[in-house]
């Protein structure tokens, strides 16, 4: 896959490999043009970490929103980012989804989360979501789900773009290939062991 990441100050473009297991496990390996891994990041749902191999430096802490924001300037919990990169709005477990306005608007809201979801009328698949403050005063983020393709009987968006207007942050993910199911080694979501480098504890 291809990742474009901006934190409002700096932009970075990179090849990447992504592994997910819902609700809160994720592993991303960022690679250069020679397929050498220059950064690894992940969470097993409890701990969050970022490892820079060239410096043998590990950042690690609780999988909290505050620590996630230290690594990427996004107003998400770890399960939110797992849901989004897995191609679905971060509605949480057992959400109460209500129709908003006319049925022809294809607009829904998730009760008590400030999350709005728009679907494609023909397919029913989500094409956009946005989260607002409870009083509607400000927009936290928007996510667009585009370029749906069928794989193993599943329609999956191969282009996902999330924007955080107040922070000027943005991430675009372009999938080249996806695979579903299969067994996953839980150790892949844990922070790697370092040789002689330094560990920085993230404190939220």
Please tell me the distance from the alpha carbon of residue 113 to that of residue 96, in angstroms, as a whole number: 10
Placement of tokens 């992940």 in the chain? 42
pLDDT 10s digits, 92-113: 888 999 988 777 789 999 988 8
Number of independent structural domains in the chain? 1
Q: How many CB atoms lie within 10 A of CB 24?
A: 20
> By C-alpha distance, which of 116, 123, 124 is closest to 89?
116
Its pTM stands at 0.89
pLDDT per residue as tens digits for the range 18-53: 999 999 999 999 998 777 899 999 999 999 999 999
CATH number at residue 29: 2.50.20.10
Structural domain span for residue 131: 2-202
pLDDT at position 195 is 61
- Start-to-end CA distance of the chain, whole Å, equals 31
The pLDDT mean for the chain works out to 89
What pLDDT band is residue 6 in, cutting at 50, 70 and 90?
confident
* pLDDT winner (highest mean) among 6-10, 74-78, 91-95, 154-158: 154-158
């Amino acid at each position: 896959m291809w990742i474009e990441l901006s934190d409002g100050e700096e932009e970075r473009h990179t090849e990447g490999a992504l592994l997910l297991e819902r609700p809160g496990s994720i592993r991303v390996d960022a690679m250069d043009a020679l397929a050498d891994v220059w950064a690894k990041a992940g969470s097993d749902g409890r701990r969050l970490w970022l490892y820079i191999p060239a410096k043998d430096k590990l950042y690690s802490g609780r999988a909290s929103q505050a620590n996630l924001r230290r690594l990427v300037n996004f107003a998400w919990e770890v399960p939110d980012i797992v849901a989004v990169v897995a191609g679905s709005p971060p509605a949480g477990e057992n959400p109460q989804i209500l129709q908003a306005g006319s049925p022809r608007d294809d607009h829904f809201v998730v009760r008590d989360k400030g999350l709005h979801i728009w679907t494609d009328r023909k397919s029913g698949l989500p094409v956009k979501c946005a989260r607002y403050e409870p009083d509607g005063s400000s927009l936290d983020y928007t996510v667009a789900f585009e370029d749906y393709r069928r794989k193993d009987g599943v329609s999956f968006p191969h282009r996902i773009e999330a924007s955080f207007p107040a922070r000027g942050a943005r991430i675009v993910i372009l999938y080249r290939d996806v695979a579903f199911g299969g067994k996953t080694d839980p150790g892949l979501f844990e922070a790697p062991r370092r040789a002689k480098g330094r560990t920085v504890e993230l404190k939220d």
